Amino acid sequence: MGMTTINSRTFNQDASGAKRAAQEGPVFITDRGKPAHVLLSIEAYRQLAGLQESILDLLADPEAADVSFEPDRLGSLTRPADLS
């Protein structure tokens, strides 16, 4: 996982570049030479914060179509009826 440091001016001029860099690791944004902010991907933030994605998060995410979904079979929830 990479780590990038940029100054506020560079961040303001190239926010899309900072977002791309955040996909590889945290981007530290400095103000007057001192770290002031950290830009993280949402995945890295959720991992850091210990958050799990809910179905509402997935529905709100425009990239949710990329999330694999394999529902469990319902066999364990049913049983044959005893008609004797």
- pLDDT one-digit tens code per residue, 47-82: 887 766 666 776 777 766 666 667 666 666 666 777
pTM for this prediction:
0.57
For residue 66, give Cα distances in angstroms to 4, 55, 59, 62.
Answer: 27, 14, 12, 9
- pLDDT one-digit tens code per residue, 13-55: 999 999 999 999 999 999 999 999 999 998 888 888 776 666 6
Domains in the chain, CATH or no CATH each: 4-63 (3.40.1620.10)
